[in-house]
Amino acid sequence: MDQIPNPAAETTSINYQSEQPASQSWWTRFRLTTKRHGRRYWFALVLAAYLFGAGSGYLFGWRKLVEYKTAHEHDTEVESAETDSLWMDLAKQVNPEEGYDIPVVLGDVGMNLVASGAIDLDKYIKVFENSGEPLTPEQMNILQETSSSAVVINQKNAHFWLNFFWALGLANQNPVLTEGPMMDGGREKVVNFASTGGWTIAAVPVAQVYASQTLVILNESQQSLLEEVAQVVYRPCCNNATHFPDCNHGMGMLGLLELMASQGASKKEMLEAAKYVSAFWYPQQMLEVAVALQKTKGVDFEKLDPATAVGKNTFSGSGFQQVHQWLGQNGLLEQTPDGDGGCGV
């Protein structure tokens, strides 16, 4: 018995090639082929266009990123070079290689400091030997003979002049010491300050040294000028002006200003000397102040108003901290010279 064909099992296949007459034109064949594969070609075309657009966009964006990064790195290098140059230029102004000529004559001050016991010469010599800075023949002469030579402070002798003027400020009898804020706790407590108790190279107890010698004599107008200047010259180790000389730098500055006032120096000369001497005693802090003021005021250290350089807003303890923070916030901090910032001999 013949089987009945199952229609579902049969597959109908259309053979376009066999149905097309041999004489069919190329255009007709193209249209038929396009009809079969058109959607496939269209999808491929769209995908290719998308990939081309995405790729070109990526390449364009990457190129722009590289260009931006290169330009940014260049700008950063230029800014860094300019900052380095600024620091170097100002460092030469803050601590000039040739030093700074202090307009005073020492005369017999050094001899009298030794003779009065304010300086024990043997202890003084050992201090500098132990620090690796043995006294020079010229410095020994300052302590043993009358001196009429120029007083020049530089990086090498800044420590010597700090101790020398410290001894002068400590020993000289002056109302700043006998009537000023140093006496607020009474005479018996005056030896508790860094500028008094820290002076360990006297030949006698420091209480006997304090304001005990008439080494520098000032008339009324000179004393008035001294106190006026002393009240506006600060130091970054604390918030006290020179009028309250509770540390070695303050006492050293007092001694220097007393000597200058006694020899007829003007207010301008005294402040200018305070500016440069402070710069040698505090090179790091003064250089930072110089950079900050050059950036904010456009004035180099050489032309900077000395009252501004050593004033409360910039060179006191709190004032300098604000300067330091501003430099850090603006990316301007650099490694600066080390200085004799301690308060000991």
Q: Say which residue the tokens 């000389």 belong to.
A: 245
What pLDDT score does 260 carry?
98
Q: What pLDDT is attached to residue 345? A: 74
This prediction's pTM? 0.77
What pLDDT is attached to residue 22?
A: 45
Round to whole Å and give the CA distance between 6 and 25. Answer: 39
For helices 220-230 and 267-281, the axis angle rounded to 10 degrees is: 40
Mean pLDDT confidence for 236-254: 97
Q: What's the pLDDT score for residue 49?
A: 46
Pairwise pLDDT comparison (90 vs 35), residue with the higher score: 90
Are the C-beta atoms of residues 93 and 300 closer than 8 Å to each other? Answer: yes
102-153 per-position pLDDT tens digit: 999 999 999 999 999 999 999 999 999 999 999 999 999 999 999 998 899 9
Among the residue ranges 57-71, 85-99, 184-198, 283-297, the one predicted with the least confidence is 57-71
Q: 148-168 burial by CB neighbour count: b if 16+ within 10 A, else e?
A: eeebebeeebbbbbbbbbbbb
Quote the CA–CA distance of 190 and 99 in Å, as a whole number: 34
Closest CA relative to residue 293, chosen from 122, 252, 302? 302
Residue ranges of alpha helices (H) inside 121-205 are 121-130, 137-144, 158-171, 175-178, 194-197
pLDDT tens-digit series, residues 165-192: 999 999 999 999 999 999 999 999 999 9
pLDDT digits (tens, 9 = 90+) for 295-309: 999 999 999 999 999
* 56-65, 145-154, 314-323: least confident range: 56-65
The pLDDT score that the predictor gives to residue 85 is 87
330, pLDDT greater than 60? yes
Q: What is the mean pLDDT of the chain?
A: 84
Is residue 8 over pLDDT 50?
A: no
When mean pLDDT is compared across 142-146, 197-201, 339-343, the lowest value belongs to: 339-343
Tens of pLDDT, residue by residue over 64-86, are: 555 544 544 444 444 566 778 88
Cα gap 18→32, rounded to integer Å? 13
Q: According to the model, what pLDDT value does residue 27 have?
A: 44
| Phi and psi angles of residue 152, each rounded to the nearest 5 degrees, phi first | -120, 125
